A and B are shown apart, each in its own frame.
Chain A
Amino acid sequence: MASNPLRDPQDRRLPRIAGPCGLVLFGVTGDLSRKKVMPAIYDLANRGLLPPGFSLTGFARRDWADEDFAQVVHDAVKEHSRTPFREEVWDQLAEGFRFVPGEFDDDVAFEQLRHTIEELDVSRGTGGNHAFYLAIPPAFFGDVVGQLKEHGLADAAGDSWRRVVVEKPFGHDLRSARELNGILDGVFPDGSIFRIDHYLGKETVQNILALRFANTMFEPIWNANYVDHVQITMAEDVGIGGRAGYYDGIGAARDVIQNHLLQLMSLVAMEEPTTFDAQALRIEKQKVLSSVRLPSDLGATTARGQYAAGWAGGEKVPGFLQEEGISATSTTETFAAVTLHVDTRRWAGVPFYLRTGKRLGRRVTEVAVVFKRAPHQLFNPTATEELTQNALVIRVQPDEGMTVRFGSKVPGTAMEIRDVNMDFAYGGSFTEASPEAYERLILDVLLGDPPLFPRHEEVELSWQILDPILDFWAKQDKRGAGPEQYPSGGWGPGSAEAMLARDGRTWRRP
């Protein structure tokens, strides 16, 4: 193909617009579809990044016509989109909505889906390019993917493409992750499977790489010579809400640590990739994940808990065991903390503490790199009483940015040194409105650009790390030593505090 004379690598104003294509959405009534996927599609169109003729097909067990589905999208967009609602943008999308009613095992419905897609190729010029977004529980992946294969929907003709998009959980242990991958892999080639970990679409997460590898001042101290330990926290202030069916039996470690926190950790800990392409990044991430070692005494280096009834943020809230749909004897954890070692020269002896939980003090995700104390302290102990350890904190959400903590002299005649913070807020220096992670990721799916999507090797390595901990906890459950209750609205169970205290450290209050 001759190169496009209107394209110029120097022309950085021109955005990449996806080529002609359509998206088929399974599970249109769920929160994910309504709050994230549909608004992101509108926002992309509003930013001029969707191709003319882009079409969205819904598939669900509803007795809807195309117009009913369009109305659902319209309402979702009005309520949740990031950018202002504009009639002309809606007009661009409006003729491209289709709805196919049916069950996942319904051959007639999938045949109708095939006709719908073929009709779109003619009437909207989608060119045979279609992505199937499975916003449904993984238990149904097998059915849907099998149907797609059976009805020839997974086969791309000529230059066109077919892609499948799946959301976490990618299995619940190594074995099930492999099974799941087997199901997808049997139908779609590896490069056509897009696993969404929406954390990787976040600006602040991508900025970890810029921070580390575009600057000179951080990388020299980014190792065991200077770093004491790393804390990665993802805290939510809400409980499980109405997601009992999903959450029970899954728990915090599988829900968050296996994907988001281990991905964050691999970005923080990895070596510099040779280039900034998908392949090179993946190699480095896999190296980190495969050099992770668990401590031998899992009882002393992990912690878990369940939130108890109480008061959180001024509201009376039920405990996990009282939530609707949760058995009073459930051992599913809503808080999990683990200690990991990365066996490389760079990180030898530096523990990575990962924690996540529901009903904690506030919603926050951050990475804190805590540095060693100065090897020799010039100032006497009284002067440095209020000086703790230097730290560099990457705030992933909310209030995206970075904080550097160091000691400074308190004004006055006495020599007294206290911690101060230097702050960089994304909102302060850049755009007020960064694109949502889903906008970036959906566009990347349509462009076929894979760097921000974890591959099945990474998923499997993550389960290899987590499986022994989950087994250990299951054994504890059998002995009657289940998760500890912790007060709602605080920062987790006492066992998590004790876990760090054993190492002579404390958790940061995020």
Chain B
Amino acid sequence: MTGNNAHDYARFDDSELVLQARTDSGAFGELYERYVKKIYSYIYYRTGNSHDAEDLTARVFHRALVHIETYVERGIPFSAWLYRIAHNLVANWHRDRTRRKVIPLDEFVAAGLRSEAPESMAESEEEREQLLAAIRRLPEERQQLLVLKFVDKLSNAEVGAIMDRSEGAIKSLYHRTLIALRDDLTALDAESDAPRPSHNLAHTR
């Protein structure tokens, strides 16, 4: 492997770039380009704000750079290794905080909302917030699974490598996660539909 220009790096797979990155920062730059957006998205949805997402994304890549000499691909692809670093940093981040932040609707998320009639937008926005709140009430590994699947759009094999589980176990976890989420939302609906003693019926849904 020779050459330091970006066109050359694009030809190599991750394993070759990892070896090269030990002595050549350009190769690390190519790995960074390949994964920075996915790692950022993952962290953004796990932390709920862009400031911490940027900070933790930077730390993921700094940590990867520091440890790249000792990284050995034993069945764990480089991308899965990066996600594991991100997962550990996010777990520490949650431990350091007593409260969880609400995911803000910043411009990127707002841009992702489908175009709808104005009157239905408020309702769907409320539903969306409800769903996000229910997701945040899930155990950590289930949140991780949903983000890896729906945000980073990884295959079950890739998710399995990151979470150290078989593909079958990932499918089963996904099934159980959906059931838990549905049950949570149903309970929430039932709660809000139930008449409250201190309110008259006109205020209930």
Asked if A pairs with B, the answer is: no
User: Measuring CB to CB, which residues of chain A are less than 8 angstroms from any residue of chain B?
Assistant: none
